[in-house]
Amino acid sequence: MSEPKQRPDASRPTSRRSFLRSGLALGGAVGAGAFTGRAAAETPDAKNLPPNVPEWSQSLGDGVVSRPYGRPSKFEADVVRRDVEWLTASRQSSVSFTPLHRLEGIITPNGLGFERHHGGIAEIDPAEHRLMIHGLVEKPLVLTLEDVKRFPRVNRIAFLECAANSGMEWKGAQLNGCQFTHGMIHCVMYTGVPLKRLLEEAGLKTNAKWLLPEGADASAMTRSVPIEKALDDAIVAYAMNGEALYPEHGYPLRLVLPGWQGNMWVKWLRRIKVGDEPWHTREETSKYTALLPDGQARRFTWAMDAKSVITDPSPQAPLHRKGFTVLSGLAWSGRGAIRSVDVSLDGGRNWRAARLDGPVLDKALTRFYYEFDWNGDPLLLQSRAIDETGYVQPTKAALRQHRGLNSIYHNNGIQTWHVLPNGEIENVEVA
């Protein structure tokens, strides 16, 4: 989005209110403290339940390659990227959101990873794509995709978070669902060439200090990247999660800058210029600078700080029953690996250690769980990530103390979910 708006237009559809009405009616019918139920039409058909033999146990299913490229079950059709139309003026310079509330583990499926475009999805024929490296180098290069694939390869799992993730929440709780409040993030395994290796092939001159990667799409995205990052862990990637990049993620080539704001991960990468000063492009002056209350603005805020969110339960993933409850969430830090995650059930008054499960990788999403017995009382759920540098995810109030309300980007404040006695969950703030 050009800038996430804090408030939408005044006129809006009212379906949410009509849902609330029906919810109230149902709640009245089944009595206080009970859950609003699944609609009658959605009640499972008893003919497929024991002791009956289900229909799929008696007939043959589709044969192999009826789906040459597999898709999720039709019963998972609502697990999709979504957008929020009022956020931006055009769909071609806009953002969609990863359905975090329905995902598990740490790897985002390629078809669900959020998108952020500034000139739409470029559809590039790899045979007609070129990567040019020039500027302060001994030998300016033109590389085909085939050329890039001849360099020694690396694999790396890393999260990519938009600098504006949670940006709509600076002034208060606004969107009801972690897909919308935290879904400008994905985490995949990239395969590609260390950028260092490509720069060595061109031969850096001694005064090489900055790089300008540029995209081949109509926005010609450009950012200034310091040479230290390029020589450290930057990758020019052509595969994600084992297959070629998807067009919406930069096919055939993209830049990967682990831990740093997503805007710099230039997609459809076609050019890398080497220079001795930053360029101060539009995307690091007008945008991706953090305006503070005194009128000063931070520039070059590259690293994404430690952050976490409870994905389930959450507004789009309500609780269904009392008793033993699995709380699942994600934590990440652009400064290193997650060291621990704490969970609070009472709005941050008391904290308990969550359980990390699965790989805990440097600058990657990390899955945490917290199991507890829910007695049906209202809860104020929070999670708090701590990374290996000792950075503790701050509250939104603490961030606002430093940055006010208009810095747009880098909102890594602690999220609160209010669990209602009927299992519904809402995005709230507490004090």
Partner 1 sequence: MSRSPNRTLIALAGLFLAVAPAAAERLNIGRAATPDEIRGWDIDVRPDGQGLPVGKGTAALGETIFQERCASCHGEFGEGAGRWPELAGGAGTIKSDSPVKTVGSYWPYVSTVFDFIHRAMPFGAAQTLTPDETYSVTAYLLYLNDILKDQDFEVNEKNLATIRLPNEKNFFMDDRETAEKEFWNAKPCMKDCLPKEAAITSRARALDVTPEKASEAAKPSAPVQ
Map the footprint of partner 1 across residues 385-424, applying CB under 8 A: 386, 389-392, 394, 398, 402, 405-406, 416, 418, 422-424
We find the least distance from the C-beta atom of residue 151 to partner 1, in angstroms, to be 6
Supply 121's token pair: 């999805």
Kindly tell me which of 106 and 223 has the beta carbon lying closer to partner 1.
Answer: 223
Which residues ranging from 114 to 143 are in contact with partner 1 (CB under 8 A)? 118-119, 132-134, 139-143
Kindly tell me which of 56 and 324 has the beta carbon lying closer to partner 1.
Answer: 324
Cβ(118)–Cβ(217) under 8 Å?
yes
Name the β-bridge partners of 34.
none
Q: Total residues contacting partner 1 (rule CB under 8 A)?
A: 127
Q: Judged by CB under 8 A, does residue 342 bind partner 1? A: yes
Cβ(341)–Cβ(368) under 8 Å?
yes
Quote the CA–CA distance of 250 and 13 in Å, as a whole number: 35
Among 96, 165, 166, 176, binds partner 1 (CB under 8 A): 176
Quote the CA–CA distance of 92 and 95 in Å, as a whole number: 9
Three-state SS annotation for 96-152: CECCHHHCCCCCCCHHHCCCEECCCCCCCCHHHCCEEEEECECCCEEECHHHHHCCC
Nearest to 157 by CA among 248, 258, 230, 251: 258
Cβ(309)–Cβ(411) under 8 Å?
no
DSSP character string of 63-87? -TTSSSS----GGGTT-S-B--GGG
Among 349, 357, 371, 377, binds partner 1 (CB under 8 A): 349
Selected range binding partner 1 among 63-71, 109-117, 252-260, 269-277, rule: CB under 8 A: 269-277
Quote the CA–CA distance of 97 and 425 in Å, as a whole number: 19
Quote the CA–CA distance of 93 and 89 in Å, as a whole number: 8
We find the least distance from the C-beta atom of residue 189 to partner 1, in angstroms, to be 24
Q: Please report, as a single letter, which amino acid is at residue 129.
A: H
Kindly tell me which of 110 and 422 has the beta carbon lying closer to partner 1.
Answer: 422
Selected range binding partner 1 among 47-55, 107-115, 172-180, 356-364, rule: CB under 8 A: 172-180
We find the least distance from the C-beta atom of residue 241 to partner 1, in angstroms, to be 25
Which residues ranging from 350 to 369 are in contact with partner 1 (CB under 8 A)? 350-352
Cβ(200)–Cβ(138) under 8 Å?
no
Sign of CA dihedral 81, 338, 385, 254: negative
Kindly tell me which of 367 and 396 has the beta carbon lying closer to partner 1.
Answer: 396
**Site pattern 178..217 for partner 1 (x: CB under 8 A):** -xx----------------x--xx-x--------x-x---
We find the least distance from the C-beta atom of residue 356 to partner 1, in angstroms, to be 17
We find the least distance from the C-beta atom of residue 402 to partner 1, in angstroms, to be 6
Cβ(382)–Cβ(414) under 8 Å?
yes
We find the least distance from the C-beta atom of residue 358 to partner 1, in angstroms, to be 24
Q: Judged by CB under 8 A, does residue 288 bind partner 1? A: no
- SS3 of 384, please? strand
Which residues ranging from 76 to 105 are in contact with partner 1 (CB under 8 A)? 78, 82-86, 88-90, 92-93
Quote the CA–CA distance of 109 and 117 in Å, as a whole number: 19
We find the least distance from the C-beta atom of residue 404 to partner 1, in angstroms, to be 9
Among 316, 328, 366, 383, binds partner 1 (CB under 8 A): 316
Which residues ranging from 42 to 71 are in contact with partner 1 (CB under 8 A)? 42
We find the least distance from the C-beta atom of residue 62 to partner 1, in angstroms, to be 28
By the 10 Å C-beta count (0-12 exposed, 13-18 middle, 19+ buried), 430 is classed as middle
Kindly tell me which of 243 and 276 has the beta carbon lying closer to partner 1.
Answer: 276
Kindly tell me which of 101 and 254 has the beta carbon lying closer to partner 1.
Answer: 101
Which residues ranging from 7 to 46 are in contact with partner 1 (CB under 8 A)? 7-8, 12-17, 19, 23, 30, 34-38, 42
We find the least distance from the C-beta atom of residue 306 to partner 1, in angstroms, to be 9
Selected range binding partner 1 among 55-63, 121-129, 176-184, 233-241, rule: CB under 8 A: 176-184
- SS3 of 353, please? strand
Kindly tell me which of 247 and 423 has the beta carbon lying closer to partner 1.
Answer: 423
* CA-CA-CA-CA dihedral for 118, 119, 123, 129, to nearest 10: -80
Kindly tell me which of 31 and 63 has the beta carbon lying closer to partner 1.
Answer: 31
Quote the CA–CA distance of 289 and 408 in Å, as a whole number: 9
Which residues ranging from 228 to 267 are in contact with partner 1 (CB under 8 A)? none
**What values do phi and psi take at 337, rounded to 5?**
-85, 155
